[in-house]
Structure 1
Amino acid sequence: MSTAPPERPGAGEPSFREALRGLPGRVWIVSLGILVNQIGNFLPVFIVLYLTGRGHSAGAAGLVLGVSGVGRVLGNAVGGHLADRIGRRRTIVLSAVTTSGPTAVVPFLDPLPLIVAVVALIGVTSQIYRPAAAAALVDSVATERRRLAAFGVFRFALNVGSAVGGVIGGVLAGSSYTGLFLVNAVACLLFGVVVAALPRDAPGARSDRGDGTRAGAKGAAYPGTNRSAAWPGAARAAGYRRVLADRALTRFLLMTAVAEFVYVQSTAGLPLHIDAVGLSERDFGLLLGLNGLLVLLFELPVTGAVARCRPERVLAVGNLITGAGLALTGFGTDLVLLSATVVIWTVGEMTNSAVSQAHVGNLAPPGMVGRYQGLHGVAYTVGTGTGPLVGGAVYAIDPWALWGLVGAAGLWSARLSLPSRRAKAPVGGARS
């Protein structure tokens, strides 16, 4: 363990704007691929409308969504393993190709069990790329601020793709669901083609120093420590059991699941509240549109503003703001008040989003970046999957019970963002 005192975050690094300008081509190629993929990512959004339009019940549509969610959890775990074993580029291309084919055949399937099986498969294959794409960004840059800039660009591409894709998907769904899913399949293939342009990668090679430590990594949750020193032979591939022995990571994963449970109430609890106070689906759409507009305009500048701060503290503040904003939803009885709450929780979302993924890269020792990102994806998917189920059940008991639970969970996720009180301070003396 290093005995040097903790460095000031970002000490000796370029400004966030300079970091953006200096990002390598690999970051832009991956982000372009994400943009293409997200524009055509229609199946998760429109599968319920497609099934109910073909005469299937709401329960059947819910079953399809459920198995897709389980597949997404598994896909992140598989993707993290593959990213470290066969490389980032091959894993992303594999995900794109194996998602394209099943997506193209969905509109030609008739028996519900077959649809369930194929959509479950798509749930797995469509998520395999995520840990690999994140790991490719971590490999491409060696310092914390550049890493944060890389994930800021990645998130911007994701948000633009979602906004554009929603419009295109609505137009296509109005004319032909067959065309919708075929375009989705083509977008997957184009994603693979774009990423295939990446140079061959040796996982983690671009960010590992010859002495076995990760350049630019300062131990993240425990600044001043050399995390790789606690992992003998860390450069060799290791299983998930070994990864989960990292207490800082498991705490971070729990934080992620709780934080996503809170955030997903923006699309689970909020529409229930909208209906209860007598507002319309149009009003709900306007609120989501406000959120999307704010994210597109301000997320990258907000990421730059927090780049000089310790990631743990940024995550704590962001989770606190998100939880407070969504908990205040219960007091919103008209569109103006609810718009104010949307602004609050969107600020929390913008504060956290890029920092969260970049922070996983800071935590990961050499040779395990893919698995760390894979488990982050698992935690994210668990949070977003359980949120609607638990939120809906609690809301049915008492609406205020849900908003109280959201506020408490926001506080808990903020506390989990910070190092445990039982964690030892660095030998240098200061506790992070």
Structure 2
Amino acid sequence: MRNWYRSTIGGLPGLYWYLWTGMLINRIGGFVALVLSLYLTADRHLTIPVAGLVVGAYGVGGVAGVLLGGVLADRWGRRPTLLLAHFGAVVVLCGLIFARPIPLIAVLAALLGVMHSMPGPAFVAAIVDVTPAGDRSRAFNLQFWAFNLGMAVASVLAGALAEVSFALLFAVDASGTLVTALLILWKVHETRPARHPVATTAPGGLHTALTDRAYMLFVGLSLLLAVLSTQTSTILPLAITGDGLRPSVYGSVVAYAALLIVVGQLFVPRLIGRWRKGTALAVANVLLGLGFAAVSLADGVLGYLAAATIWTAGSMIAAPPNAAVIAELSPEALRGRYQSVFYLTFPAAGFIAPAAGGVSLSYLGDWHWVVCGGLGLLAAAGHLLIQPARERRVATELKAERFTVPVAG
């Protein structure tokens, strides 16, 4: 047990744990997005198409928030960005409690999307700032664990509070967000590294990240992984009900996958600790592909649970090296921007997975899941191919840093 604690939790900086706690509290309290469509149809009596447009406004705000959060994290700093996002979210949530005109609710939903997405790049950039390179894989593994634990708790709370009062739901969410903001204000100092003269003269902005060939190759492969992972929330429910199973079966499969992550994620660092990052990502994508390919054979609860076991194992293995690779490819002065470019894979996957997946499932049937398996194998091969060049780049940059002499005064 002592060895497990040392290899999984021990040795991480104290500031990291304040950031980790803030993310966990924020995720547990951040359940408005989970029931926004239900609030609009059940409480505000909107039609499903109109409710879909309002929820879409939240998604558009999320894209803008990711980019804005990355830019502000580099320009203003991690702490000011986190404080703006959390205090801003409190104000928007309080506004939703009293808002009645539908256009106003749509505007507030878009602003909430901005505020909910802004902290992501800043949180991760701050973790990279304060965590030694050798410990980042463990740090991001624990972050992924906290994210899924918070999502599991948030799902339960959202369902319970929605049955009592949506106003109470917004108020509780605002309270959790306020607690996170106060924790950051009290315990989290600015972590952005002081800019060296080299960094200030180098090209910056999102353009640098978007034209970084090695990084964008990695982001492209990450998009394939995100498209696969998003199958669980977009196409999988259609497959399960299409097999004549009740919607509650889908809920059970998702809950089972979340439970696997909560129980097993803390053991992942010891499992993959000696693996090269690209190798770990290749294995993760193979498992994701095999898991979703197995859905083509599933026609009952046990079949879907077995498939979920395989793809969830892939998700757990992918989390630590995924974040660590982003950290080592991101220039110190542009960490927030690089994080924001990576975070765009999630809304992109949120569009691609249902749009392409719906057509694929309609025309291909169970062969859709075989195609998903092929995408997993393709992504795995890609990670193995780009791994040597990426490792050479990282080694070259580390060597250059060692011989960089700081300029005085």
In structure 2, what is the Cα distance between the partners aligned to 1:424 and 1:277?
A: 44
In structure 1, what is the Cα distance between the partners aligned to 2:51 and 2:312?
A: 29
TM-score by length of 2: 0.89
Q: Equivalent residue for 1:416?
A: 382
Q: How far apart are 1:323 and its partner, in Å? A: 1.6
In structure 1, what is the Cα distance between the partners aligned to 2:7 and 2:150?
A: 25
1:279 to 213, 235, 245: 245
Secondary structure at 2:187's aligned position in 1?
A: coil
Q: How does 1:145-184 map to 2 (within 5 A)?
A: 146-184=135-173
1:186 to 175, 180, 184: 175
| More deviation, 373-382/89-98 | 373-382
Q: Equivalent residue for 1:115?
A: 105
- Closer, same or farther in 2 for the Cα pair 1:71/1:402, shift >3 Å? farther
TM-score by length of 1: 0.85
| Aligned: 1:368 with 2:358 | no
2:234 to 260, 268, 282: 268
In structure 2, what is the Cα distance between the partners aligned to 1:107 and 1:396?
A: 40
Q: How does 1:4-403 map to 2 (within 5 A)?
A: 17-18=6-7, 20-53=9-42, 54-144=44-134, 146-205=135-194, 233=199, 238-403=204-369
Secondary structure at 1:200's aligned position in 2?
A: coil
* Per-residue Cα deviation, 1:140-168 (whole angstroms, up to 9, x for no partner): 12223x11111122222222211122112
In structure 2, what is the Cα distance between the partners aligned to 1:384 and 1:348?
A: 19
Q: How far apart are 1:391 and its partner, in Å? A: 1.6
In structure 2, what is the Cα distance between the partners aligned to 1:351 and 1:130?
A: 21
Q: Partner letter of residue 179 of structure 1?
A: L
* Per-residue Cα deviation, 1:6-57 (whole angstroms, up to 9, x for no partner): xxxxxxxx99834631101111001100111111111110011111113211
Whether the 8 Å contact between 2:32 and 2:158 is mirrored in structure 1 is no
- Percent identical residues: 31
* Per-residue Cα deviation, 1:342-375 (whole angstroms, up to 9, x for no partner): 1000000100123212221111122111111111
In structure 2, what is the Cα distance between the partners aligned to 1:424 and 1:354?
A: 17
| More deviation, 291-300/372-381 | 372-381
| More deviation, 418-427/96-105 | 418-427
* Per-residue Cα deviation, 1:47-77 (whole angstroms, up to 9, x for no partner): 1111111321121222123222222122111
| More deviation, 18-27/249-258 | 18-27
| More deviation, 387-396/362-371 | 387-396
Q: Partner letter of residue 293 of structure 1?
A: L
In structure 1, what is the Cα distance between the partners aligned to 2:86 and 2:150?
A: 16
Q: How far apart are 1:300 and its partner, in Å? A: 1.7
Secondary structure at 1:21's aligned position in 2?
A: coil
Equivalent pairs, count: 391
Whether the 8 Å contact between 1:73 and 1:382 is mirrored in structure 2 is no
- Closer, same or farther in 2 for the Cα pair 1:368/1:271, shift >3 Å? same
Secondary structure at 2:333's aligned position in 1?
A: coil
In structure 2, what is the Cα distance between the partners aligned to 1:235 and 1:137?
A: 25
In structure 1, what is the Cα distance between the partners aligned to 2:325 and 2:201?
A: 19
In structure 2, what is the Cα distance between the partners aligned to 1:424 and 1:288?
A: 35
Whether the 8 Å contact between 1:254 and 1:416 is mirrored in structure 2 is no
- Closer, same or farther in 2 for the Cα pair 1:324/1:19, shift >3 Å? closer
In structure 2, what is the Cα distance between the partners aligned to 1:299 and 1:420?
A: 26
Which has the larger helix fraction? 2
What are the ranges of 5 or more consecutive residues in structure 1 without an aligned counterpart? 1-13, 213-231
In structure 1, what is the Cα distance between the partners aligned to 2:251 and 2:191?
A: 44
Q: Partner letter of residue 365 of structure 2?
A: P
In structure 1, what is the Cα distance between the partners aligned to 2:306 and 2:129?
A: 39
| More deviation, 375-384/407-416 | 407-416
What are the ranges of 5 or more consecutive residues in structure 2 without an aligned counterpart? 396-409
Q: How far apart are 1:307 and its partner, in Å? A: 2.1
| More deviation, 414-423/315-324 | 414-423
Secondary structure at 1:384's aligned position in 2?
A: helix
- Closer, same or farther in 2 for the Cα pair 1:236/1:178, shift >3 Å? farther
In structure 1, what is the Cα distance between the partners aligned to 2:69 and 2:384?
A: 28
- Closer, same or farther in 2 for the Cα pair 1:373/1:109, shift >3 Å? same
Q: How far apart are 1:202 and its partner, in Å? A: 4.5
Q: Equivalent residue for 2:405?
A: none
Aligned-residue Cα RMSD (Å) equals 2.4
In structure 1, what is the Cα distance between the partners aligned to 2:238 and 2:37?
A: 18
